[in-house]
Amino acid sequence: MQEDLQAQLLIADKIEEVLDSKCKRAALLTPTIWQTNLNAPNWVLGDQTLDDVVDDYYERSVRYENITNCNLNEPFFNGTSCISCPKDQSLFNLYTQKCVRCESGYEYDSNLKNCVEIG
What is the model's pTM? 0.74
> Does residue 17 have a pLDDT over 90?
no
Summarize pLDDT for 19-64 with one digit per residue, the tens.
777 766 665 556 789 999 999 999 999 999 999 999 999 999 998 8
Torsion of CA 38, 39, 43, 47, to 10 degrees: 30
Coil, strand or helix: which one is 62?
A: helix
Phi, psi of 117 (to 5 degrees): -65, 135
List 82's β-bridge partners, or say none: 77
Cα separation, 85 vs 46, whole angstroms: 16
Summarize pLDDT for 96-111 with one digit per residue, the tens.
999 999 999 999 999 9
